[in-house]
Amino acid sequence: MKKTALIMAGGRGERFWPRSRQSLPKQFLSLTDDKKTMLQLTVERILPLVAMEDIFIVTNRGYRELVRAQLPELPEGNILCEPVGKNTAPCIGLGAVHIAKKYGDAVMMVLPSDHLIKYTSLFLNTLTDACEVAEQGGNLVTLGIAPDCPETGYGYIKFQPEQTLGRAFAVERFVEKPDLETAKAYLASEQYLWNSGMFIWKTSTILDNLQAHLPETYAGLCKIREAIGTPMEEQVLEREFQGFRAESIDYGVMEKAQDIYILSGAFGWDDVGSWLAVSRIKRSNELGNVVEGNVVTVDTRDTIIQGGGKLIAAVGLEDMIVVDSEDALLICEKAHAGDIKKVLENLKICNRREYL
Amino acid sequence: MKKTALIMAGGRGERFWPRSRQSLPKQFLSLTDDKKTMLQLTVERILPLVAMEDIFIVTNRGYRELVRAQLPELPEGNILCEPVGKNTAPCIGLGAVHIAKKYGDAVMMVLPSDHLIKYTSLFLNTLTDACEVAEQGGNLVTLGIAPDCPETGYGYIKFQPEQTLGRAFAVERFVEKPDLETAKAYLASEQYLWNSGMFIWKTSTILDNLQAHLPETYAGLCKIREAIGTPMEEQVLEREFQGFRAESIDYGVMEKAQDIYILSGAFGWDDVGSWLAVSRIKRSNELGNVVEGNVVTVDTRDTIIQGGGKLIAAVGLEDMIVVDSEDALLICEKAHAGDIKKVLENLKICNRREYL
């Protein structure tokens, strides 16, 4: 069966401010030692499994030109633009109807555009195994990550170790981000995996599930599908999307569906959730510093400095994040990385949108 | 007797980098809430006691235009330029011969240009008292500051509490910067004051002392004095200064001289020795932050941020110093303020003189 990929690149993440901006979200940034952006790495990673012309990028209208510029070899028609973000269920539904319109039934790998995977061949093996399970009947397949700490920032998925299909396990349930005690219990139970947000299914399977669990969204998607390639396409897309209820695929479909399987991925996954990730994904020096740009350090350790042309002198720093950009500079204690969003809230309140 | 002032403005302090540069040392910066520079404040402070035409500025040749620009009302002939810095003894000697040439014998107040004084009227009262002592016989008078902590960064002066002259005490000896234990003993003894580097004497007194204790320098100064106002002035100044031994007035004269008196000054003196001083001399907010420029703070306290147009977002900082300038940014933990010079050493070694 035809293998396709739907890469979701509409996110507006604020956690990499001031490098990421509303006009340049994380997926369009290079955050590794590689010069390639997160989106470019995501596409490159799956090329052994999916041909370029079978890769679809779903994004916000405002990012169409960024996608074109970063993926010049992608057919222009493979860039699907949401008129407005309505969370992942309508986004994935839009991808599904486009792929179904083009190929009829096909395997569809849904992948975030802003995660990193260290071991590509292990990832591709897992994806291949997942495709095999997805092609059988009406199975919804997801990839889970074996937790190595009681992380409270991710959703978890409980699986049934005895109930297998190929290399997959049956999913018992999806659970939302837990508190620390619950996360510790999940970790100890060895029956929970992190929800990676990667899904593999046939277009027919996900559309059937959308029909069953989000019938209004499904009805709108059918109208969009009919209009594809007609002069009405943009108008119908606009109208239907505006009417969609914002809903995640997890809550709208996965938590209600049957026949869900999960494969445990051990391929060096990193969601690159904040500037802290840079310490993991970029080379650090012998003092634990990750330094780029025109930088002088004195008695500084375990610090991330992302500069440019301007000289940055760091004296006596420990566990800090320093990010300089053209018009804004961030200086943040690592333990407060989660509070960067407070800066953006402050800027919004003060109506200083030029910095967002 | 005529009262004159010699303000020493040749320093090249590095402690306010990156605001201070070799081309713009501390005395030419505004570091208070006032817009005036340290030099301007120094001149303004003594105007009730010394007329503008009786104020002399001794500085390095490279700073002549800065002095002119900052003190447009000062007669141009009152800017005395050293061809090369040779520490304070030749510098003060140069001032003395110029003042003596113009006025014969006169009282001369020698003042640093880069200290702050909070209570001007108390300072002027102390200076007036000091002038009275200096006008008698051949007395060398200095102002001392009552220590409020065992500071190891200043020289100390031991005085004899029983031996007074007017409001002054006889000086027993000058001592160099002590170690912490010694400084604690000085503090406890109540017989030591900090050496403020401010001196009051007649031109005849200091020239006599230079003749007695630094005869070679004195001989050179006499040649300079003779050449003042002649076509040979610059040439003689250049030649004699190059030949001078670099010597501080403290070591070269004060530690060897007789008839030294000290007045204890309680006028809110601050030597503004590093960026840390900014917390004392500028208004801080309720979280202890001293913030200037385009700044957003989140969970930040006891931090100095001196910015400009660029947005600076500070998240989770405590006891930090952040100074942004056109081409260089300093981020320094307060406890490491003394290590800013290591940045400059590094820049010198790497021959990046554009940042010095």
Work out the number of other CB atoms within 10 angstroms of the CB of residue B237.
20
pLDDT one-digit tens code per residue, B229-273: 999 999 999 999 999 999 999 999 999 999 999 999 999 999 999
Coil/strand/helix, residue A316: coil
pLDDT one-digit tens code per residue, A319-334: 999 999 999 999 999 9
Residues 6+ apart with CB under 8 A from A201: A107, A108, A110, A134, A139, A140, A141
Residues 6+ apart with CB under 8 A from B234: none
- How far is the C-alpha of B195 from the C-alpha of B177, rounded, in Å? 10
Say whether residue A276 is in contact with chain B using an 8 A CB cutoff.
no
CB contact under 8 A, B328 and A313: yes
Residue ranges in chain A modelled with pLDDT below 50 = none
State residue A161's pLDDT score.
93
CB contact under 8 A, A313 and B331: yes
- How far is the C-alpha of B256 from the C-alpha of A317, rounded, in Å? 45
pLDDT one-digit tens code per residue, B291-302: 999 999 999 999
Structure-token pair, residue B141:
């008078």
pLDDT one-digit tens code per residue, B118-142: 999 999 999 999 999 999 999 999 9
Pair B277, B115: CB distance under 8 Å: no
Q: What is the DSSP string of A237-278?
A: HHHHHHHSPP--HIIIIITT-SSEEEEEE-S-EE---STTHH
Please report the number of interchain residue pairs, chain A to chain B, with beta-carbon separation below 8 angstroms: 114
- From the list A160, A157, A151, A149, the residue with the least C-alpha distance to A175 is A157
- End-to-end CA distance of chain B, in Å? 44
DSSP A154: S
Structure-token pair, residue A315:
């004296």
Confidence of residue B14 (pLDDT cuts 50, 70, 90): confident
Say whether residue B188 is in contact with chain A using an 8 A CB cutoff.
no
Residue B339 has pLDDT above 90, yes or no: yes
Residue B34 has pLDDT above 90, yes or no: no
- How far is the C-alpha of A30 from the C-alpha of B330, rounded, in Å? 26
State residue A251's pLDDT score.
94
Helix (H) or strand (E) holding B116: strand B116-117
State residue A275's pLDDT score.
95
Residues composing chain B:
356
**ipTM of this complex:** 0.88
State residue A14's pLDDT score.
84
Structure-token pair, residue B158:
């031991």
CB contact under 8 A, A315 and B329: no
**In Å, how far is A298's CA from the nearest CA of chain B?**
7
Residue B12 has pLDDT above 90, yes or no: no
Which pTM does this prediction carry?
0.89
Coil/strand/helix, residue A15: coil
CB contact under 8 A, B343 and A312: no
- Residue numbers in A near B347 (CB within 8 A): 296
The average confidence (pLDDT) of chain B is 96
- From the list A274, A275, A272, A298, the residue with the least C-alpha distance to A287 is A298
